[in-house]
């Protein structure tokens, strides 16, 4: 069988048409490592099958696969103090205005267009801008149409949980096997500080009474999903001074009720967003406060740490948003689904992913061999594929890993408001904001970095190197760690 000839650069942004074409016609992968699996040993095969290509449910998959949200569900049945209806649903988004709301027919046209042009696409989600279960008619019509056209696309919804129990059976029938519920409390007294009102059974409730109903419906919905084998992710917004410590209790409750993942997200609060919290000065947590809470939660329900709080109309790999390339006015009037590019991409990724798994195992073993208790927080500039493959000045975010005696673990990401080299040259003022975003980080790994930003980072106590450019992230981190604390010294960061 022919091995598709591809380069790593051709694999990730932009996709190389020729490589995809070759993969589409190669008849399979002949690599010895093809078929290596990142499946955790204690995970059942059927669960692994559901998550292995899902960028949100598998941290490893998020290097390779993309999601898209369609904004078909604008109505909501509760008020959260961190939400302004003009903005995306904070269940699954950062506060940015949804560019346009779609009808199910328009959503269909958009999803098929994206599937034809973004071969990484594996997941279609409905995450607002209101509540996907409350605005059920549109959610259902959208999923029904699209799953007929693209049967292998994974369907996801995000909900506040109030209307969820009414639709669990239909979700199961429609093969929606990933549901996110935003659960910020299990104590209605705390809930009353987060939710001023809910609308339930044609009546408006306020205060503790409202929070109690919401809590009971959320728990019921979670239990019903678990009973049907639907994987449930719990999103919790961390609100310092309101529910931060309480999230330990939330984690316990949702674990007991079968939640698959717990995703603690920082409150994003700004007066400009017009939310209650924004206008009253409620702050969000710092990245280090978020990490400290996530560390305390380790050992409970499994944590998701790679969430990007995407917009309700996001398109692309996590950390990138190509939504503006697919606005309604740019979509063709009619479009037919062509499966070949997505199939070809999957074939290329199968080999690359197998190699990555092997490299990761070797890197973790290397780290564990080093006789030290030292830990490092390492920020990586990457544009996908699990590689150190982004120029420092072009990075829109850094993925942060902790390396230490226990191995190498992903701990989060740091967004960069503006890229250092946005206009083709470096801006000192922009570098200050990048340095701010990297507070607490020991070392930055990137594909390329100039002397000037490197020196400024060093002055801020952050070392940076491009010595490990284009290596797998874990290989790079393992080599860095061994060079710093092991016997090898050749690649130590100056």
> Least distance in Å: CB of 284 to ligand SF4?
15
Please report how close the Cβ of residue 293 comes to ligand SF4 at its closest, in angstroms.
17
Chain-centroid distance, C-alpha 345: 20
Q: Would you say 94 and 268 are in contact if contact means Cβ atoms under 8 Å apart?
A: yes
> Rg of the chain's alpha carbons, rounded to an integer?
22
Please, which residue, 87 or 468, has the CB nearer to ligand SF4?
87
Phi, psi of 329 (to 5 degrees): -70, -10
Q: How far is the CB of 234 from ligand SF4 (least distance, A)?
A: 11
Question: Across the strands, what pairs with 469?
Answer: none
Nearer to ligand SF4, 78 or 301 (CB): 78
> Token pair for residue 406?
């226990």
Classify residue 76 by its DSSP letter: -
Q: Report the nearest approach of ligand SF4 to the CB of residue 406 (Å).
A: 25
Q: Answer for the pair 464, 453: CB distance below 8 angstroms, yes or no.
A: yes
Unique residue bearing structure tokens 């239990």: 223
Which lies closer to ligand SF4 via its Cβ, residue 308 or residue 383?
Answer: 308
C-beta of 247: minimal distance to ligand SF4 in Å? 17
Tokens representing residue 124 in the block: 């279609």
Q: Are 62 and 116 in contact, with CB atoms under 8 Å apart?
A: no
- Indicate the pairing of strand 121-126 with strand 66-69: parallel
What number of other Cβ atoms are within 10 A of residue 472's Cβ?
25
Identify which of residues 79 and 479 has a Cβ nearer to ligand SF4 in the complex.
79
Identity of the residue, 78 or 477, whose beta carbon is nearer to ligand SF4 in the bound complex:
78
Q: How far is the CB of 368 from ligand SF4 (least distance, A)?
A: 30
Of 131 and 466, CB closest to ligand SF4 = 131
How many Cβ atoms sit within 10 Å of the Cβ of residue 74?
17
Contact 252/246 with Cβ under 8 angstroms?
Answer: no
Which is closer to ligand SF4, CB of 192 or CB of 335? Answer: 192
Closest separation between CB of residue 458 and ligand SF4, Å? 32
End-to-end CA distance of the chain: 46
Q: Which is nearer to ligand SF4, 26 or 200 (CB)?
A: 200
d(CA 473, CA 363): 9
| DSSP one-letter code for 153 | S
Angstrom distance (rounded) from CA 67 to CA 63: 12
Residue ranges binding ligand SF4 (CB under 6 A): 56, 67, 76, 78-80, 83, 89-92, 125, 128, 130-131, 160, 307-310, 318
Shortest separation between residue 231's beta carbon and ligand SF4, angstroms: 12
């Amino acid at each position: 069988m022919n091995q598709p000839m591809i380069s790593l650069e051709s694999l990730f942004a932009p996709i190389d048409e020729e490589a995809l074409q070759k993969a589409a016609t190669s008849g399979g992968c002949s690599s010895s490592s093809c078929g290596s699996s990142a499946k955790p040993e204690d995970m059942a095969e059927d669960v692994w099958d559901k998550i292995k290509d899902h960028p949100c449910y598998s941290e490893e998959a998020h290097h390779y696969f993309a999601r898209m949200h369609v904004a078909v569900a604008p109505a909501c049945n509760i008020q959260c103090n961190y939400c302004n209806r003009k903005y995306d649903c904070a269940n699954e988004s950062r506060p940015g205005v949804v560019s346009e709301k779609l009808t199910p027919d328009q959503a269909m046209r958009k999803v098929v267009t994206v599937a034809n042009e973004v071969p990484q696409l594996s997941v279609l989600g409905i995450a607002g801008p209101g509540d996907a279960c409350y605005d059920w008619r549109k959610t259902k019509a959208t999923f029904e149409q699209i799953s007929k056209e693209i049967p292998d696309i994974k369907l996801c919804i995000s909900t506040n949980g109030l209307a969820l129990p009414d639709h669990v059976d239909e979700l199961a029938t429609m093969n929606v096997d990933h549901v996110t519920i935003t659960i910020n409390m299990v104590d209605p007294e705390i809930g009353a500080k987060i939710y001023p009102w809910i609308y339930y059974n044609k009546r408006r409730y306020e205060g503790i009474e409202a929070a109690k109903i919401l809590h009971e419906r959320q728990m019921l919905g979670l239990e019903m999903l678990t009973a049907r084998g639907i994987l449930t992710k719990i999103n919790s917004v961390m609100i310092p001074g309101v529910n931060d410590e309480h999230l330990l209790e939330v984690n316990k409750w949702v674990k007991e009720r079968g939640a698959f993942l717990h995703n603690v997200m920082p409150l994003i609060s700004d007066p400009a967003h017009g939310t209650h919290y924004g206008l009253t000065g409620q702050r969000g947590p710092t990245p280090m406060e978020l990490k400290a809470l996530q560390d305390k939660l380790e050992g409970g329900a499994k944590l998701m740490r790679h969430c990007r709080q995407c917009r309700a109309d996001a398109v692309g790999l996590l950390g990138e948003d190509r939504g503006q390339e697919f606005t309604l006015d740019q979509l063709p009037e009619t479009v037919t689904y062509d499966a070949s590019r997505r199939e070809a991409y999957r074939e290329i990724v199968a080999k690359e992913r197998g190699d990555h798994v092997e490299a990761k195992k070797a890197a973790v073993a290397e780290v564990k061999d080093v006789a030290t208790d030292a830990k490092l927080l390492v920020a990586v500039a990457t544009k996908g594929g699990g590689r150190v493959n982004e120029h420092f000045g072009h990075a829109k975010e850094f993925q942060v890993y902790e390396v230490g005696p226990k191995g190498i673990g992903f701990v989060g990401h740091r967004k960069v408001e503006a890229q250092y080299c946005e206009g083709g040259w470096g801006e000192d003022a922009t570098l200050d904001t990048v340095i701010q975003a990297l507070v607490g980080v020991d070392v930055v790994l990137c594909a390329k970095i100039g002397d000037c930003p490197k020196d400024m980072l060093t002055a801020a106590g952050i070392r940076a190197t491009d010595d490990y450019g284009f290596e797998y992230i874990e290989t790079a981190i393992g080599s860095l760690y061994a060079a710093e604390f092991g016997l090898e010294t050749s690649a130590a960061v100056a």
